[in-house]
């Protein structure tokens, strides 16, 4: 019988790509999510019955254990960018990760991959980064042979980075940029999925790998690249950190006083703290190349999905080509 992998958060942005790769490799895939009915799109990744979404609450031992039964390997992709309602950083990114690792060790799972993030640091003033680091520590404590992947900002068709700002550019004459000089090393989601699959299907040294693409650029430069791709001219409005902190604090307060009816997905104080630090692969860190993966440049991928934000959509390139012919 083919091997089985349980992917917690397997219908999310990164998880779905890992699920597809593992199905293509011939594994049975169990996609553990809070809302299985919203994850039915993963079923066609494999043959009938090969990929199945199942319910799981990572706050509960019994729930996590139930979907891990019979698994040869486990991947934890669960993470949040902002706290909302019962979704707290500590519950999801530290306690949840530790619970999965502890139960994986108890149940004799062979391999475990934890998706973390560059910048994970127990000493950080960002709660997001603190809990990422605590989650890593708990995973390695319970499952010392785990592979931990720390990607920089991830890009791809469903990303919430380039797509988010491109969507804003469709309706706003300016784009706010907090920390315009902060550097990022965007990594393609398929490369992250390839790294996870490699750790599951091959012999890979345990420990931490920091994943970044071949390009390092400032936040402002990334926004300029995005605007060029979507053929829109917008004013990039640099927001100083003190002002951004006040804005994030005000939005956090609104979320609190509305008891979560308003979810602050715009800007939080914790995100402002994150934006003060560069988000790039540390010097000397193991990365994609150590896993035998060649990083994919942004220039080969962004045009494939950002075209939908252009004024003429998919027809913009045709109009540009016709305009060049008329000039000739």
Q: Any bridge partners for residue 150, and if so which?
A: 210
| 18 touches 197 (CB < 8 A) | yes
Handedness of CA 278, 191, 177, 131 (dihedral sign): negative
**Which H, E and C letters describe 84-144, residue by residue?**
ECCECHHHHHHHHHHHHHHHHHHCCCCEEEEECCCCCCCCCCCHHHHHHHHHHHHHHHHCC
Q: At what angle do helices 96-106 and 127-142 cross, to 10 degrees?
A: 10
Asked whether residue 173 is assigned to any structural domain, the reply reads no
- What does the pLDDT average to over 294-302? 98
CA atoms within 13 A on the CB side of 113: 34
| pTM beyond 0.85, yes or no | yes
C-alpha span between 215 and 222 (Å, rounded):
10
What would the pLDDT profile of 192-225 be if each residue is shown by its tens digit? 999 999 999 999 999 999 999 999 999 999 999 9
Q: Is residue 149 assigned to a domain?
A: yes
Strand bridging mode 4-8 / 187-188: unpaired
Averaged over 260-269, what is the pLDDT?
90
Quote the domain boundaries for residue 193.
4-157+183-212+279-303
- Distance in angstroms (rounded) separating the CA atoms of residues 135 and 150: 12
Q: Is the pLDDT reported for residue 306 higher than 60?
A: yes
94 located within any domain: yes
278-297 average pLDDT score: 98
Q: Is residue 315 part of a domain?
A: no
Q: Could you tell me what percent of the chain has a pLDDT over 70?
A: 95
**pLDDT over threshold 70, residue 267:** yes
Q: What is the CATH number of the domain that holds 61?
A: 3.40.50.720
Residue-level pLDDT at 314: 63
For residues 189 and 298, give the distance between their C-alpha atoms in angstroms, rounded to a whole number: 11
**Count of Cβ atoms closer than 10 Å to residue 320 Cβ:** 13
Q: Flag whether pLDDT at 322 surpasses 90.
A: no
Give the per-residue pLDDT at 316: 58
Looking at the DSSP bridge assignments, the partners of residue 184 are: 217, 279
Structural domain count, the chain? 1
CA 88 remoteness from chain centre: 17
Rounded to whole angstroms, what are the CA distances from 241 to 84, 183, 205, 219, 279?
23, 15, 40, 14, 17
278, 264, 291, 104: which is closest to 209 by C-alpha? 291
302 vs 316, which has greater pLDDT?
Answer: 302
Confidence of residue 328 (pLDDT cuts 50, 70, 90): low
Tell me the pLDDT of the chain averaged across its residues.
Answer: 95
SS3 51: strand
Q: For residue 4, name the pLDDT band (cuts at 50, 70, 90).
A: very high
Residue 165 lies inside a defined structural domain of this protein = no
Q: State how far the Cα of 47 lies from the Cα of 317, in Å rounded to an integer.
A: 37
Query: For the segment 109-167, what is each residue's pLDDT rounded down to a tens digit?
Result: 999 999 999 999 999 999 999 999 999 999 999 999 999 999 999 999 999 999 999 99
**Interstrand relation of 4-8 and 73-76 (parallel, antiparallel or unpaired):** parallel
Q: Is the pLDDT of residue 271 over 80?
A: yes
In a domain, 125, yes or no: yes
Half-sphere exposure of 319 toward its Cβ, with a 13 Å CA cutoff?
Answer: 9
| Residues making up the chain, counted from first to last | 328
Q: Is residue 256 part of a domain?
A: no
Q: How confident is the model at residue 323 (pLDDT cuts 50, 70, 90)?
A: low
How many other β-carbons are positioned within 10 Å of the β-carbon of residue 232?
16
pLDDT confidence tier of residue 1, bands split at 50, 70 and 90: confident
15 within domain boundaries: yes
């Amino acid at each position: 019988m083919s091997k089985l992998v349980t992917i917690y958060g397997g219908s999310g942005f990164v998880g779905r790509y890992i699920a597809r790769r593992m199905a293509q490799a011939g594994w049975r895939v169990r996609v553990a999510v809070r809302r299985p009915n919203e994850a039915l799109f993963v079923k066609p990744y494999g043959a009938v019955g090969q990929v199945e979404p199942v319910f799981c609450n990572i706050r509960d031992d019994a729930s996590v254990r139930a979907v891990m039964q019979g698994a040869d390997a486990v991947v934890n992709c669960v993470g949040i960018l902002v706290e909302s309602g019962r979704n707290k950083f500590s519950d999801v990114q530290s306690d949840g990760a530790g619970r999965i690792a502890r139960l994986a060790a108890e149940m004799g799972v062979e391999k475990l991959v934890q998706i973390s993030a560059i910048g994970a640091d127990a000493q950080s003033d960002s709660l997001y980064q603190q809990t990422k680091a605590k989650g890593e520590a708990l995973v390695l404590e319970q499952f010392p042979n785990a592979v931990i992947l720390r990607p920089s900002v991830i890009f791809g068709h469903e990303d919430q980075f380039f797509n988010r700002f491109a969507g804003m550019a469709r309706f706003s004459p300016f784009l706010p940029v907090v920390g315009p000089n902060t550097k990022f090393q965007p990594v393609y989601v398929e490369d992250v999925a390839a790294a996870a699959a490699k750790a599951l299907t091959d012999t890979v040294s345990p420990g931490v790998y920091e994943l970044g693409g071949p390009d390092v650029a400032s936040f402002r430069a990334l926004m300029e690249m995005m605007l060029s791709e979507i053929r829109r001219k917008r004013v990039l409005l640099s927001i100083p950190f003190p002002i951004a902190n006040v804005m994030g604090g005000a939005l956090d307060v609104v979320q609190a006083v509305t008891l979560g009816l308003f979810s602050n997905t715009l800007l939080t104080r914790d995100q402002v703290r994150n934006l003060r630090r560069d988000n790039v692969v540390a010097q000397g860190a193991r990365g994609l190349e150590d896993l035998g993966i060649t990083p994919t440049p942004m220039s080969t991928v962004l045009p494939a999905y950002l075209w939908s934000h252009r004024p003429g959509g998919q027809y913009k390139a045709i109009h540009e080509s016709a305009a060049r012919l008329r000039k000739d």
